Structure formats: structure tokens, C-alpha cells
Chain A
Amino acid sequence: MEITVRPHVLLLGLTVGVALADSSVVTLALPRILADYDVAIGTLAWVLTSYNLGLALTAVPAAFVARRRPSMVFGVSIVVFSAASLACAFAPSIWVLIGARAVQGMAGAGVVCAALDLLSQATGGDAPAARVWALSGIIGAAFGPAAGGILTQLLGWQSIFLVQAPVMGIALLALRGATAVPVEEPAGRPHVAANLALLLVSGALVASSFLLVILLINGWRLQPLEAGLVVTLMPLAAIVAARTGGRITPLSARAASGAILIAGGSAALGWLPHAGARWTIAPQIAIGTGLGLALSALTERALAGRSAQAVRGGWTIAARHAGIVLGLVLLTPLFTADLERNEDDALSAGAAVVLESEIPPLQKIGVARDILVAVEKAQEDAMVPDVSDSIDHQDDNAYRELASDLQKQLNRAVTNAFSRSFLVAAALGLLALAPIFVGRRDVTV
């Protein structure tokens, strides 16, 4: 069925996209935020977690209110979201930023749930509204990191939030002439299996949405803009899959195919044979395709039923963002521990490279100490150092070879540090197959 693309629909889709992009939009800005506020990585992770937690916890209550007064909830949420965005941009401390992000998440829940009801009116039916809503969410979530990276590099991380406020403000125009009708029917029960699968799939996607960009920027030293462009592959694949995957029936087959592709792509990222952005291309296409198939199918299934559309939407949003929180809680400590372990291994391997190198023996300890200083300096910036900057005599072949060998060891170490996290993400993707198949007959339309 063709959906008439009207300004109302576009604006509502835009708000859903922005609100859901916000769960991952600051990923590429994290190193800059870390440098500005000088905090521990564990504290920094709350900039991501607080938004997703706020969204997950508020989505269902917001949906219950939105089904009665969708226009009011939408308008108030947009205003609060914009104000919280400005608070994020001008946050004087990390805790204000984290608090404002939580408020943003709660307001985002109101925006997304109310938009679903308003979309039903704007598109003339629940089914087309659900498709616009799901596609907007996929585009937003998938493009979030890339958009954040581009803005961070061009205008600074604060610009991410400064841009959101007016964009969301414009969306208030969607309320002009809106004829949302309060839903009086009972809220009904959520589709547990579909929402559980959404939770697990979203948890799996944390690795490719968050960790991959950290690997590209902090590990392989790509600029945020370059990393943003690299990770654009995933949303492109997701959009193509979401648009074309509708032909795959039944829904459980589409969802399962998506979950398998997410697991396969994540496992490939866990077993990267070399460092370098080009090795992420095939896994990204697999994950992006999986994302498009799984999220569209599971959202469609979760939204099916006799209860109010906004309430069903609330449950899917709660499930998705609870999954992101689960992924962050599971993967952050694992990744941090692996990074520390690999740092020790990298230093030992680097010392071995220096001791066994062809440079004059009298220079070896000096070079080793210069590199240790460079590694410590880079740790302060949460980056892997470029060792060629620390080694003089680059005109000498032996020194060039040493620099190259050392960089290879560092690349191996940092890439390997992400391995287990990607593999755990792959396991979450496979785990999602259980509720997908268990709930495959449990669809009430």
C-alpha cells in the first residue's frame, strides 16, 4: 500500500527519527565530551545510558497518557525535549549533561508514542502509520552515530543538541490541523515475545552502533567525519532492507533472517582478520540488512493487536531501549576489561618488537621509553597513539620498519579488545531467535 507523503507525515516521522537517533547520536562525540569534562569512562557511559533508560522507563506510561490526549502529549514533549537539548548543549558539568539527557529521553518517549497516534490520523490508518513510524525509527537509530560524528567534527559536540532544539520545534507545526481522536478502548496486553525479541536484537545492535564507532575513532584513529561516513553503510543497508523486506513472509521468517544477519555480522566484527575500516564493510552490510529486516518485522508484529496503537508503540520503544541499556550494561565492563588486558599484552609485544628490532642496540631502551610516554599521553586522550610520531630517524629503514611493526601490534591489540564484546552481541542476536520462533503464532490482529 502506498502512503501519501504529506508535510504532517514527514514532520511526525522526523520527530520520531530525531528522538530515536538521540539514543546513539553522541557516540562519536564521546571522546570530545571525555576531554571536556575529564571523567572516567564508566561515568561517560551514562551520557548514553541515561537517555535510553529515561526512554525505556517512560515509554509505556507516556503511551497510556498519549492515547487519551495525543496532541497535548506531543506538544509538551516537544517543548521539554527542546529545552533539555539546550541544557545538554550548555551543561556546565557532566552530571548536568547526564541529567538533561535523562529528561530528553523521557520527553522523547512522549514524542515517539504520541507521534504514532498522530500518524494514524495523518496517514488514515494504523497499518501505514506503523510502517512510517517503524521506518523513521530505523532511519533515526541507524543514522544517529554518523550524523553525530559529522556535527561533532564540523561544529563541536554541543552542536548536536543545538541543532535538535529548532528541528524539534519546527515539528510542532505537525499539530496544526491535527485531528487526533482519543482512543477509548482498553489498553490490552503487549506482545511479549515480539517485544522480548526486540529487546535482544537492540542489545545486539549496541555493539555495532556504539562500539564500532569507538573502534574506528579511538582505536584506528579515523576522524569523526570519516568514521561517520564509514558507518553510513549500515543505515543505507537497513533502509533498503526495510523497504524491500516486506515481501518476506511470514513475519517470523523476516525477523529471524534479520536476527541471523545481525549475529553473523557481529561475529565477523568479533573475528576481524585485520585492522582497517574496509574490513568492516561486509559485516556492516550484514548487520544493516539484518537491522532493517528484524526491526521492521518485530515492530510490525509488536504493533499488531486490538489495543491502542500508542500503547503498543510504547511497549516496543520500552523494549528496544531497555535492550540498548542491557547491551550497554553488559558490553561496557567487558570491553573496558578487555581493553586493559590487551593494553598489557600490547606493551609486552611492543617491547619485544623494540628488543628484536634492527635499530642500533644503544637506541633501543630510549625508543622504548619514548613509546611508553606516547602510550601514556594517548591514554589521557582515550586514543591509540600513532607511534611514528614518537620515533625519530624516520629516514632510516630500520626505524620505519620498527614504527610499522609497533603500530601493527597496537592495531592488533585494540582490535582484539573489541572482539569479545562483538561476539557477545552476536550471541544476543542468536538468542533473539527463541522468542521469534516461540511467538510466531501468537499474533492477534
Chain B
Amino acid sequence: MRALAWSAGASALLVAVYLALGGASYAPASVADPCAPRDWSEPRGVNEVGEQIVLSALDGAACRIGVSREDIVLAFEDQDSLEAFGREHGVTEAELERLARTGLERAVTDAKNAGALSPRLANLIRGVVGRIPPGLLIGLLDRVPDLVFPDS
């Protein structure tokens, strides 16, 4: 019976140590909730302002669809993955247009609130976003990475 107690104690100790070291939570990091507000970091130059606007727009669209912004980035890998994403989440072109407009508007508001855009520039951009033809707006979201990151 001593052997039984020894083996049970050794097993319990081993498992307890591994759990205490974080064994139960050693998994890929979970992605942030796109619907939760994010802090705007102090942008260093126009590229970073653009980047934060795009990320914020992605958050806005992702929040509406119920996915993460990372899912949207991965969906833009190629046309096949974009179509698969649309089918999986039931996102039509019209829905994409609305999401793109909402996301960009939200991003501009976030940028203005963070002091990255002046109120006047923010209103100007918001006006442009509101007047862009639907097809162009969808294309804008589809090509967001290329437009904002032309070297990619």
C-alpha cells in the first residue's frame, strides 16, 4: 500500500506543479474583442495614423459581423478566402458596404477622440466616407491593406 500512496502522491505533485506553472492555459493567445474600445497609441507619423484608422475600421466591421479583426485580415489573403469568409458569415456585398462605411466612420471618430486627427480633418474624412459610391467603398475595404500599405 506504500507503493500506491507513493505513486498517487508523485502523480498528484507532478500534475499540480505543471498546473501551477500555467499548464491549463498554455494555448494560443485569445484575440481581443473587436467591440471593446481600444486605446489609441501616440501615432508617429502619417503611416501610423493610417494604420490605426485601418485597425479601428477592421474592429468596427468585425464587431458587426461577430468575428475578430484578425479573421477579417486572414479573409483578405486571397479571393478564395474572401469568398469563403462571405459564405461562412453570410456577408453580402451590400452588407460589406454598410460595414465598411460604419467601420471607417468609427475609426475616424476614434482618431479624432485620440487627438490623432483634428476635428476639422475628421469631419472632412467622415464626409468623404459618407459620399463615396457604394461600389468604391466596398472596393476600398477590399483593398484596404493595399491602399494603406502599398508596399505589401
Contact = CB atoms under 8 A, between A and B. Distances in A.
Given A258-B7, A369-B152, A416-B28, A361 B51 contact: yes
Nearest to A410: B28
B47 A360 contact: yes
A286 B10 contact: yes
B18 A263 contact: no
A256 B47 contact: no
Interface stretch (B115-123, B124-132, B133-141, B143-151): B143-151
Interface in A43-67: none
B66 interface: no
A271 interface: yes
Interface in A249-286: 253-254, 256-258, 260-261, 263-265, 267-268, 270-274, 279, 282-283, 286
Interface stretch (B69-77, B94-102, B105-113): B69-77
A215 to B, nearest CB: 13
Nearest to B76: A365
B15 interface: yes
A257 B3 contact: yes
B31 A361 contact: no
Interface in A353-367: 353, 355, 360-366
A294 to B, nearest CB: 10
Interface string B61-89: 00000001111011011000000000000
Nearest to B72: A351
B11 A261 contact: yes
A187 interface: no
A158 interface: no
The main secondary structure of chain A at its interface with chain B is helix
Contacts of B1: 253
A352 B149 contact: no
Contacts of B77: 369, 372
A273 B18 contact: yes
15 contacts: A248-B3, A256-B4, A257-B3, A257-B6, A261-B10, A271-B24, A274-B21, A286-B10, A349-B70, A351-B73, A355-B70, A361-B47, A365-B73, A366-B152, A415-B26
Interface of A: 248, 253-254, 256-258, 260-261, 263-265, 267-268, 270-274, 279, 282-283, 286, 290, 293, 342, 345-349, 351-353, 355, 360-366, 368-369, 372, 409, 412-413, 415-416
Interface of B: 1, 3-4, 6-8, 10-12, 14-15, 18-19, 21-24, 26-32, 47-48, 50-51, 55, 68-71, 73-74, 76-77, 145-146, 148-152
